[in-house]
Amino acid sequence: MNRAAAPARAARRRAVPWDVVGLGLLVVAAAFMPDLLRALYDRAAVSYLSIAINALSLAILALSWDVLARTGQLSLAHAAFYGTGAYTTALMLRHLDLPMWLGIPAGGLMAVAFALLLGGLTLRLRAIYFAIATLAFAEVLKAVVHHAPTAFAGGNAGMNVAPLFRPVFVAGQMERWEVAYLRNEAYFYVYAGLLALSVLISIALQRSRLRHAFTAIRTNEDVAGVMGVRPARVKLLAFMLSASTVGMLGAVEAHRVGSVLPDQSFSVATTVLALVTPIFGGLYTTLGPIVGALGLSSVQELLRRTFSDGYLIGYGVVLVLTILFMPRGVVGTIGHAWRKRGSRSTGTPPASRPQRAGPAPDDAPPKPPSQPGGDA
């Protein structure tokens, strides 16, 4: 997946489209997973499915963040899109008499609309300013939701959201826990479908010419402009695609949790998870965020159970350590080692390194000038 080697090599490799094969395997695995878990673990499958759902959710979030990061933009607004999706479906349920399912695409569309608005205003900004502006936007949105009339959006107390699935308990034909199992199974398929969509978007972008536009913008926006890429447009497209899946995720999650609350739906924690996961797994790839989500969601379970407040500290530590010691992430580091090995065995110099997979620092720390003196 995503091996940006020299074009000739890439052309030869094209014979096996690993990304599509991977997606296919993912879909097949997901289709059998609930039944397999049930066959293996019986009633414990209920909680295993919940854990799997959390991992899927994290993967969707991470992949969405990565899509925007490929253009070099640091978004701190993912909590805003997530919350937008959650509140859209909750508001529709409360005020409109429409089928419940419509809330999910509507949540995605609403998030895209906000991305269009926010991106149109801020994507011309330099990276730092963009990051600050997106963080500010997320907090404004939270404040607005807090402040909105209680009769309309519930204020501080939030709103209840009906579950998407209500399996019925049939006495005599099934056991009690099977109700929970059926509910989790149904949610699992929804999340898996959403992840498949996210992967599809990511693969499509990696295979299209846009990938080079993204890389060009990330490397140097001005030069990209000279080469005929329109940075503002391309970034806006990435931002909208990124927001769409998060918005839908927020909507689905609102149904699963059963409520929306300003502080929970627009929590900074969402933004933190969205960015730590792909950085840990490996930026600018389809595989990286998924690997990161698998790794971190198992840690997350452990941390959340140990500390109720402050479990995010684990993510802070992972973020800092990754940036300092493994700036390419898990996938990038392994891939780099693999390519290095491959080139050594054939005796050729390493083929053009993939556009700095993961923002690698200039390896050595800056040396202070060794001259004495200077009365600072």
Partner 1 sequence: MIDPTLVLQALVSGILAAGLYALVSVGLALAIGVIGIVNFAHGEFFMVGAFLAYQAFVSFGIDPVFSLFLVAPALGLIGAGIYASTIRFVLKAPELNQMLLTFGIGIILQNLALLIWGGDPRTIAGIAYRSIGYQIGPVSVGLVPLASFAISLTLVLGLYWMLASTPTGRAMRAVAQNRVGAALVGLEVDRVYLVAFALSALLAGIGGVMIAVIQSPTPTIGLAFTLKAFAIVVVSGLGNVRGVLFASLVVAIAESMVATLVPNGDTLRNAVFFAIIFGVLVWRSRRVA
C-alpha pair distances (Å), 38 with each of 27, 46, 57, 181: 18, 8, 21, 9
Question: CB-wise, 108 or 354, nearer to partner 1?
Answer: 354
Chosen residue from 20, 26, 74, 102 binding partner 1 by CB under 8 A: 74
Question: x/- contact string, 294-333, with partner 1 (CB under 8 A)?
Answer: -------------x-xxxxx-xxx-xx--xx--x------
Q: Pick from 11, 39, 51, 127: which binds partner 1 (CB under 8 A)?
A: 127
* Euclidean distance between CA atoms 60 and 66, whole angstroms: 10
- Give CA–CA dist 146/169, Å, rounded: 38
Per CB under 8 A, the segment of 31-39, 90-98, 141-149, 241-249 that binds partner 1 is 141-149
User: Which one of the spans 31-39, 50-58, 140-148, 204-212 is the region binding partner 1 (CB under 8 A)?
Assistant: 140-148
Output the DSSP codes for 308-334: STTTTHHHHHHHHHHHHH-TTHHHHHH
Element (H, E) at 170: none
- Rule CB under 8 A: say whether 229 interacts with partner 1: no
Q: Which is nearer to partner 1, 28 or 324 (CB)?
A: 324
Select 181 or 214, whichever has its Cβ closest to partner 1. 214
Q: Which residues contact 246 (CB under 8 A, 6 or more apart)?
A: 60, 61, 64, 78, 81, 82, 85, 111, 274
Minimum distance between the CB of residue 209 and partner 1, rounded to whole angstroms?
24
CB of 117 to partner 1, least distance (A): 11
**DSSP for 271-301, written as a single string:** HHHHHHHHHHH-TTSSHHHHHHHHHHHHHHH
CA geometry: angle at 276 spanning 224 and 247, to 5°? 75
Residue 230: CB minimum distance to partner 1, A: 13
Instruction: Read off φ and ψ for residue 111, nearest 5 degrees.
Output: -60, -40
Q: Does 222 bind partner 1 (CB under 8 A)?
A: no
Distances (CA, A) of 108 to 2, 92, 249, 358: 27, 13, 8, 28
Pick the closer one to partner 1 by CB: 90 or 273.
273
The correct pick among 196, 268, 294, 299 for binding partner 1 (CB under 8 A) is 268
d(CA 119, CA 240): 8
Could you say whether residue 40 binds partner 1 (CB under 8 A)? no
**The one segment of 37-45, 127-135, 158-166, 192-200 that binds partner 1 by CB under 8 A:** 127-135
- DSSP code of 358? S
Other CB atoms closer than 10 Å to residue 157's CB: what's the count?
10
Nearer to partner 1, 120 or 350 (CB): 120
DSSP single-letter state for residue 310: T
Report the C-alpha gap between 62 and 373 in whole angstroms. Answer: 48
Q: Which is nearer to partner 1, 27 or 148 (CB)?
A: 148
Q: Does 117 bind partner 1 (CB under 8 A)?
A: no
List residues near partner 1 by CB under 8 A.
69, 72, 74, 121-122, 124-125, 127-129, 131-133, 135-137, 139-140, 143-144, 146-147, 268, 272, 275-276, 279, 307, 309-313, 315-317, 319-320, 323-324, 327, 359-362, 365-366, 368-369, 371, 373-376
